[in-house]
């Protein structure tokens, strides 16, 4: 059954998931605004798809992001789906990472998506009484599980997941027609393993760890267990409510890849063991006359 034609605004389209989204969506006939830094050169290979190509650095000031998103609205008369895909990975032991190093990760992986969300929300809120639209965030297995030498990346993804979960509850109260989706892939067949930014060795003690991470990244490139083309195909189905998503309610988070599912299960099982083992101690810190948590927000 044919689905309604939609307009997508996608960041980070030079390669990987972003490029695949552009190509598959255009093949389906949807409108696509493909964005990226230095778009004239880095997105030139997408011109034959018929996508609209706009230059955009997600770390730009809010006003610049607002203007670019408005440009997409003006071109197509509206935007239906925002995909926050642009990302930056920096690898290094936390003792060696400077605040500036951490800030670069946060600027791209956290502030960029949240700022673009602000650009989109007023437009999505204008669509009917409950609003309308979908915002997709390319998070990661690393948004739930910390990794050695991955503090910058993991911190930015953990922050993104917390902010998006909070926003989902805000929207659920006042604008339930606007949906959010966090994608949490493991290791997939993209260029990401080749594009890791390794900081120089600054503390001799951590040199073995940094070298091991370089070997790991290089070893994973070209041998990734996850199929990026298939993931993108399924994400499109999920966004449209077809195929693998037919008849299913859209969740806030979806993990992808057997490696991710295995890691998530192990962490969740370990966390539940802690909760069970320390339940009595945790409850013992309540006031004797404690009446329970504050109630949820009332109906609007």
Is 139 tagged catalytic?
yes
The region of weakest confidence among 6-20, 58-72, 221-235 is: 221-235
Whether 14 is catalytic: no
What is the pLDDT confidence band of residue 160, given thresholds at 50, 70 and 90?
Answer: very high
Options 15, 105, 139, 156, the catalytic residue = 139
Domain 7-283, CATH class in plain words = alpha beta
The answer for residues whose C-beta is within 8 angstroms of residue 77's C-beta and 6 or more apart is: none
From the list 88, 157, 179, 189, the catalytic residue is: 157
Domain boundaries, the chain: 7-283
Question: Is the pLDDT reported for residue 1 higher than 50?
Answer: no
The pLDDT of 63-82, averaged and rounded, is 98
Q: Which of the residues 153, 156, 179, 189 is marked catalytic?
A: 153
The reported pLDDT for the residue numbered 298 is 74
pLDDT band at residue 300 under the 50/70/90 scheme: low
Note the pLDDT tens digit of each residue in 12-42. 999 999 999 999 999 999 999 999 999 999 9
- pTM, full prediction: 0.94
């Amino acid at each position: 059954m044919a689905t309604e034609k939609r307009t997508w605004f996608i960041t980070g389209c030079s390669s990987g998931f972003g490029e695949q989204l552009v190509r598959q969506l255009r093949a389906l006939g949807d409108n696509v605004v493909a964005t990226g830094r230095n778009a004239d050169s880095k997105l030139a290979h997408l011109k034959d798809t018929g996508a609209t190509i706009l230059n955009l650095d997600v770390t730009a000031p809010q006003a610049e992001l607002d203007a670019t998103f408005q440009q997409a609205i003006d071109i197509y008369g509206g935007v239906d789906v925002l995909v926050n895909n642009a990302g930056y990975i920096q690898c290094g032991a936390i003792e060696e990472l400077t605040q500036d190093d951490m800030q670069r990760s946060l600027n791209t992986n956290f502030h960029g998506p949240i700022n673009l969300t602000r650009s989109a929300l007023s437009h999505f809120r204008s669509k009917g009484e409950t609003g309308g639209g979908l915002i997709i965030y390319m998070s990661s297995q690393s948004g739930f599980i910390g990794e050695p030498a991955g503090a910058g990346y993991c911190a930015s993804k953990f922050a993104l997941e917390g902010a998006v979960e909070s926003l989902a509850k805000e929207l659920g109260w006042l604008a339930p027609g606007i949906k959010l989706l966090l994608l949490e892939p493991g290791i997939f067949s993209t260029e990401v393993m080749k594009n890791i930014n390794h900081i120089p060795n600054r503390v001799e003690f951590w040199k073995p760890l940094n070298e091991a991470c370089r070997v790991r990244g290089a070893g994973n490139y070209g041998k990734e267990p996850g199929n990026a083309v298939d993931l993108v195909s399924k994400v499109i189905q999920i966004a449209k409510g077809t195929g693998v998503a037919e008849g299913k309610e859209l969740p806030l988070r979806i993990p992808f890849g057997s490696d991710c599912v295995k890691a998530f299960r192990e962490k969740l099982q370990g966390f539940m063991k802690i909760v069970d083992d320390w339940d009595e101690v945790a409850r013992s810190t309540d006031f004797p006359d404690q009446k329970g948590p504050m109630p949820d927000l009332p109906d609007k």
